[in-house]
Amino acid sequence: MVNNRCNPFLDAPLTVRRVVLMAIAAVVFILGVIYGTVRGAFWTWCGRTRERRLDDFHRIMHKVFKLDLRLHPWLFCDIHNPYNETFERGSIAICNHQSLIDPLCLLILSPKLLIVTGKRVWENPIVKPVLRLAEFTCTSYTMDEMIEYCRYHIDRGYTVVFFPEGERSQNGRILRFHSGAFHIAKILQADILPLYIHGTGHVLPTHKAFQNRAKLYVEIGQRVLCDDKSIYTDTRKQANAFRRHYRLYYEELCRKLEDTDYFAELVAGLFGRVGKRGYALDLLRRYHNFSAWIDTSFDDYSYVLIDDHTEGVFTLLFALVHPYVPVYAIGADSLKMLYQQCTNLPVNINFVAGANAAKVSAYKPLFSVEDVVKVQVSTVNNKKNNYETAYS
């Protein structure tokens, strides 16, 4: 069974507000690129050494990107650094890859970061001058060239960031890890620094041109020191082991971060597709996004039966927050219409007629939300939950 998590932000309707904000963000970004290019070229013309020019350019880039995020009306990035990483020692960093804006979220961590980009981004005429001035590199280079590149910059205290998946994940699922970054770390006896990103694939999903409103989260993991010889075994096995770790840890992040507040505005926007946006917004405000009822732990072994008189607003929000709990919904007529229009909504919702609800399983009352929602629960026959199956 596959991972039940979907990316409903792919189905977010295009609004005038999204278009205007994306246009403003694009203008600000291009102005930043022009500023960085002109300043870097000026430093080159003034005869600054390569080392000083690179350090100064990265400090400027770090400040500009932090300012961009601080001023953006839709984006907020929460940085979690539980191990007090300072980036003072050069290393090989690895990170999951969800969106084109992943490098932006990483570059605000420290001015001592270098990004390994794909060929398409590397040759993009808009950002090409900045990538060269920042001395980023491209995956199309040979392994020997990449090793020498990393050796030089790591010795100078820089951390080189690889995306071992090699491509962006559309729904956040952790894809296969390539072993190149781990091979380079082994050759150079470099530390490995894990980085984790959540939310970028929701803000700007793959193959989408307009941003959504969502929260970004970046976590700096525990550095794996080069002194730990156990990590320098077979690099293919090492890549597989890190991928397993990333899959499990990313699931933990999703369960922690993806609550009702995270999805509420998206749910209202989705119901705008069936003419119910105002109704959904009013309902969510009145009941505070149903947080008191949904943002609690539910046994993944249970089935949930929802008698929904909210046109499906409650059911959709519940299914997004609890994607591994099978949901049987009675009513939810507008949500049924929404499923006919969208292809990236939760797969754990089953629509049943009221007369057939008793045939699903034996339920007992769980809670009610006034007269709009009645929820019942059953623990019959769900012997193995989807999360366990997906990650076993």
pLDDT in tens, 230-243: 655 789 999 999 99
Write the pLDDT tens digit of every residue in 282-315. 999 999 999 999 999 888 778 899 999 999 999 9
255-280 exposure pattern, b = at least 16 Cβ within 10 A, e = fewer: eeebbbebbbbbbbbbbbbbebbebb
pLDDT at residue 47, as a whole number = 63
Position 360 scores a pLDDT of: 56
Phi, psi of 121 (to 5 degrees): -70, -40
Give the per-residue SS3 of 64-129: HHHHHHHHCCCEEEEEECCCCCCCCCCEEEEECCCCCCHHHHHHCCCCCEEEEECHHHHCCCCCHH
Question: What would the mean pLDDT of 381-389 be, rounded to a whole number?
Answer: 45
CA distances from 304 to 317, 360, 369 (A): 13, 10, 15
Question: Is residue 220 a contact partner of residue 83, using CB atoms and an 8 Å limit?
Answer: yes
Longest dimension (CA), the chain: 81
Question: Is the predicted pLDDT of residue 32 greater than 80, yes or no?
Answer: no
pLDDT value, residue 231: 59
Q: Average pLDDT in the 123-136 region?
A: 90
Range 119-148 average pLDDT: 93
Residue closest to 40 by CA, chosen among 169, 127, 145:
127
Q: How confident is the model at residue 72, as a pLDDT?
A: 78
Model confidence at 386, pLDDT cuts 50, 70, 90, reads very low
Q: What is the pLDDT of residue 390?
A: 37
pLDDT at 198: 97
Digit-coded pLDDT (tens) for 346-375: 999 999 876 565 555 567 777 888 778 888
Look at residue 64 and tell me whether its pLDDT is greater than 80. yes
Q: CATH class for domain 8-257?
A: alpha beta
pLDDT at 338 over 50: yes
| Average pLDDT of span 177-204 | 95
Q: What is the DSSP letter of 367?
A: E
Alpha-carbon span 308 to 193, nearest angstrom? 46
pTM of the model: 0.90
